[in-house]
Amino acid sequence: MCYDIKTQLEAQLARARRNGDEIAVREITEKLVPYTDLPLFHASGFSHPKLLIYTNDSPDYPIVATWGLVPHWVKDKEQLKKLWNQTLNARGETIFEKPSFRTSAKYRRCIIYIDGFYEHHHQNKQSYPFFISRKDNRPMALAGLWSEWVDTSTGEILNSFSIVTTQGNDLLAKIHNNPKLKEPRMPLILPEAWEEKWLQPINDELDIKAINELILPYTEEELSAHPVAKLRGRAYQGNVPEISDSISYPELELEI
């Protein structure tokens, strides 16, 4: 699963900076970022933060979107509230089947750039959060689905997204050991060479097959992980820079 992330402005601008267009970067910073909740040193999907996503419609210039995909068929805000927490993640193996995701899987895929994500390890009825990032400290490109929903009562347009997940690699299998889950999961992290493939249009079954072939665990050799302070309860420090710092739990048996 992926319910907790860290993403700062530089990570969110990673794709825009590739073209070396500083005017576009400045415009994004001035015109879009004020409508986001950045920086997010720790954000829970259940708080539905707003951040930047790069879509298949606009691969080099982002839009502001809220975490928690709202399908186009949602009738009103009452139905939206009932569904919202169920669409933070989209299981990669079934995105072309599930009613909430299949339209977006075919026509509206996106990429979300983050610094890293958090997962909890369970031991003796206690949970210990870990921060997972790339060893080279470069931003992670997460595969996502997005949607544009119109509130018919007000005409308001809401852009929203879901993070696609896949089977956890060996590192996540050690960390993400929640006994309630059938298997460890992790966000679908796209190698740079696969990012454009994720955004390619779908015209036939071969194109769907090509997308499905991208839904694989990211290699654990390129990731690092360390325990961090509590992300829940009274000990939670909030959205502060040091929330992703490494700390030691003397009783923790897991070694990474």
pLDDT tens track for 131-185: 999 999 999 999 999 999 999 889 899 999 999 999 999 999 999 988 888 889 9
Residue 179's CB: how many other CB atoms inside 10 A?
6
pLDDT of residue 196: 96
Q: What is the pLDDT confidence band of residue 22, given thresholds at 50, 70 and 90? A: confident
- Least reliable range by pLDDT among 20-29, 102-111, 233-242: 20-29
- Map tokens 């390890």 to a residue: 121
The CATH number assigned to the domain with range 4-244 reads 3.90.1680.10
User: Residue 238: is its pLDDT beyond 80?
Assistant: yes
d(CA 252, CA 128): 8
- Confidence (pTM): 0.96
pLDDT, greater one: 18 or 103: 103
Rounded mean pLDDT of the chain? 95
Provide the residue ranges of all domains of the chain, joining segments of one domain with +.
4-244
d(CA 140, CA 7): 9
Query: Residue by residue, what is the 3-state secondary structure of the chain?
Result: CCCEEEECHHHHCHHHHCCCCHHHHHHHHHHCHHHCCCCEEEEEHHHCCEEEEEECCCCCCCEEEEECCCCCCCCCHHHHHHHHHHCCEEEHHHCCCCCCCHHHHHHCEEEEEECEEEEEEEECCEEEEEEEEECCCCCEEEEEEEEEEECCCCCCEEEEEEEEEEECCHHHHHHCCCCCCCCCEEECECCHHHHHHHCCCCCCHHHHHHHHCCCCCCCHHHEEEEECCCCCCCCCCCCCHHHHCCCCCCCCCCCC
Amino acid (one-letter) located at 195: E
